[in-house]
Amino acid sequence: MKTMFPEVLESEGVPLQILKQGSKGGTLKLLIKFEDGAMAEYAALIYKKRKIVCLSSRTGKCGRSCGFCATGTICEGKSRNITWAETLAVFFLIIKLASWLFTDKILASFMGQNEAMANATNTCNAIFMLSAHENFSFAVSTIGQKENLIEFIKLVKSMGLKVKIQFSLHFPDQRVRQKHMPATKGNSLKDILNILEAYYKETGMEICVNYALFKELNCRINDFILLRRLLKGRDGFYVKFSEANTFYNPYTKILYAPSEGIFYAIGGRILSAAGIKNKEFHSVNDIEGVACGMMTSLYSE
């Protein structure tokens, strides 16, 4: 990991400063400081020949407070929405640092720090600007808060945007999910899935259900059966079983650790038997502080 204190850079007229930069195996991780001192983390990676820029939507600590996420627990610093202009400036800076070309097909994925749908206007404006280039595609992740989801979809449709929604489910049992993801309280999984299914039927954009496998927390046989029950018979969904980042929550005393590899296969077979599409995603690097919020929490001037 490289710590940098350079002069303030300028990307597309927006002053930026790189506080930390890590690079390994084709993956680039950055801690960016904006003109007002607010900080956010970003990444660029290549996975199975796909080039992906991971974008944050808000600086500082996330109010969703998911137990397994550093951004929602130990992350500090000034908290504010990231503007669409700042998002564009960082996006172009990352492409330059990664030595990518504008002729490359690049996915701009809003799955970094904080909930992008809670900053819907800036997120959609950034997507609108970047969609002027036909080689860029877009994905936005969400934990599934009904009001934010409805507002975001309404804005996407009114602006004529093509956006893939990634639903961060992780726990198929409503009560267990609320324990680890407290901001989902009052948002029934049935309601969220109904909204997402309607979005797929209107747009044809498949819904990715993100499911990070946490050892002894959500990868028991019954968890996969509950997941199958949630999605069986629904159109337009597929599950992405992903490798969890190791994180110890100092407040709840819970250790979130990646599960053993066999559970990817077991979960996949249980879903496949019901006709539910699924795939695996494994970490492509081991950069220090790679999980969202870790760089910010470890940084001190």
Flag whether pLDDT at 211 surpasses 80.
yes
What is the pLDDT, as a whole number, of residue 300?
45
Task: Quote the domain boundaries for residue 103.
Answer: 2-298
- Mean pLDDT for 197-219 is 98
Q: Give me the CATH number covering residue 156.
A: 3.20.20.70
Q: Which of the residue ranges 1-10, 44-53, 199-208 has the most confident prediction, judged by mean pLDDT?
A: 199-208
Hey, what amino acid is at 163? V
Q: What is the mean pLDDT of the chain?
A: 89
Helix axes 146-158, 189-203, angle to 10 degrees: 10
Residue 190's pLDDT band, with cuts at 50, 70 and 90, is: very high
213, 261 in Cβ contact below 8 A?
A: no
Predicted confidence (pLDDT) per residue in 57-99, tens digit: 999 888 788 889 987 777 778 889 999 999 999 999 999 998 8
- pTM for this model (two decimals): 0.90
pLDDT for residue 4: 37
Rounded to whole angstroms, the Cα distance separating 246 from 258 reads 6
**Residue 15, strand partner residues:** 10
Pairing of strands 106-110, 50-54: parallel
User: Taking 90 as the threshold, does the pLDDT of residue 289 lie above it?
Assistant: no
Q: How many CB atoms lie within 10 A of CB 103?
A: 8
Write out pLDDT tens, residues 239-260. 999 999 899 999 999 999 999 9
Would you call 285 exposed, middle or buried from its count of C-beta atoms within 10 A (0-12, 13-18, 19+)? middle
**pLDDT given for residue 10 in this prediction:** 65
Inform me whether the pLDDT recorded for 126 exceeds 50: yes
Residue-wise pLDDT tens digits, 6-49:
445 666 678 888 887 877 667 889 999 999 999 999 999 988 78
What local confidence, expressed as pLDDT, does residue 301 receive?
47
Torsional sign, CA 254, 260, 262, 268: positive
Query: 236 is written with which tokens?
Result: 């337009």
Number of separate domains in the chain: 1
In angstroms, the CA 269 to CA 277 distance is 10
Residues 6+ apart with CB under 8 A from 133: 102
Task: Convert the pLDDT of each residue in 101-125 to its tens digit.
Answer: 888 899 999 998 899 999 999 999 9
